[in-house]
């Protein structure tokens, strides 16, 4: 048996906070003779969408992110609702945030945001075959839409204007599908 096969024993888990989007657990673990505590933020996961129009422009959103203390340029994204698949969430979110329906979704990747303390996994999709619909923003979603070419988006990554990790990952992976990239 390898070290990777041997997970620590969970001694106890206690919910210490329940929020709208996540909860916080405190876990007591034992690994051999070592006992330790971990605080864990649980999250259902997110769908991230790279919406690419027929002219190869990408729709991004600019919105205020209070933890960052500023407006960020990001790909459309949102929390996966309980009982919803990542694909269903992606289709819902692209229409809600930018007002377009996607005819096709291609999964580009999935990744853990910060696995040291957060269970959130982001599922990144390329959305094509976009047709105009209507935006349906949540009450607290205040954003503007910015259409950029891949080249313009990459320049904003290099200049530091795009600094959101999911957006950088999604743009780099989607660009490869179109033969564009670093």
Task: Kindly report, residue by residue over 120-154, the tens digit of the pLDDT.
Answer: 999 999 999 999 998 877 777 788 999 999 999 99
Q: Is the pLDDT of residue 162 over 90?
A: yes
Say how far apart CA 29 and CA 27 lie, in whole Å. 6
Say how far apart CA 96 and CA 109 lie, in whole Å. 22
Q: What is the pTM of this model?
A: 0.89
Question: Which of the listed CATH numbers 3.40.190.80, 1.10.287.130, 3.90.79.10, 3.20.20.70 matches domain 44-177?
Answer: 3.90.79.10
Give me the chain's average pLDDT, please.
92
Q: Is the pLDDT of residue 166 over 80?
A: yes
Please name the helix (run of DSSP H) or strand (run of DSSP E) that holds residue 89, with its range, or none. helix 86-98
Say how far apart CA 73 and CA 148 lie, in whole Å. 11
Beta carbons of 30 and 12 less than 8 angstroms apart: no
The pLDDT score that the predictor gives to residue 20 is 85
The pLDDT score that the predictor gives to residue 77 is 96
* Mean pLDDT of all residues in 81-95: 96
Name the one residue in this structure whose structure tokens are 């990408």: 58
The residue among 160 and 137 whose pLDDT is bigger is: 160
List, by residue number, the catalytic residues.
Answer: 141
Q: Is the pLDDT of residue 3 over 70?
A: no
The torsion of the CA quartet 62, 132, 58, 47, rounded to 10 degrees, works out to: 70
The pLDDT score that the predictor gives to residue 19 is 87
For 30-87, how does the pLDDT look when each residue is reduced to its tens digit (9 = 90+)?
A: 998 999 999 999 999 999 999 999 999 999 999 999 999 999 999 999 999 999 999 9
Domain layout of the chain by residue ranges: 3-42, 44-177
């Amino acid at each position: 048996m390898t070290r990777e096969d041997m997970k620590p024993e969970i001694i106890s888990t206690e919910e210490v906070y329940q929020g709208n989007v996540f909860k916080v657990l405190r876990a007591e673990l034992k690994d051999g003779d070592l006992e330790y505590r971990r605080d864990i933020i649980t999250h259902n996961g997110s769908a991230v969408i790279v919406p690419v129009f027929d002219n190869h422009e990408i729709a991004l959103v600019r919105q205020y992110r209070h933890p960052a203390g500023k407006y960020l340029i990001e790909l459309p994204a949102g929390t996966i609702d309980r009982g919803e698949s990542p694909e269903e969430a992606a289709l819902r979110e692209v229409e809600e945030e930018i007002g377009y329906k996607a005819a096709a979704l291609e999964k580009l990747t999935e990744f853990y945001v910060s696995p040291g303390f957060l269970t959130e996994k982001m599922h990144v999709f390329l959305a094509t075959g976009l047709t105009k619909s209507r935006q349906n923003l949540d009450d607290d979603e205040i954003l503007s839409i910015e259409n950029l070419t891949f080249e313009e988006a990459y320049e904003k990554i290099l200049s530091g204007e795009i600094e959101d990790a999911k957006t950088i990952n999604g743009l780099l992976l989607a660009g490869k599908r179109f033969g564009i990239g670093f």
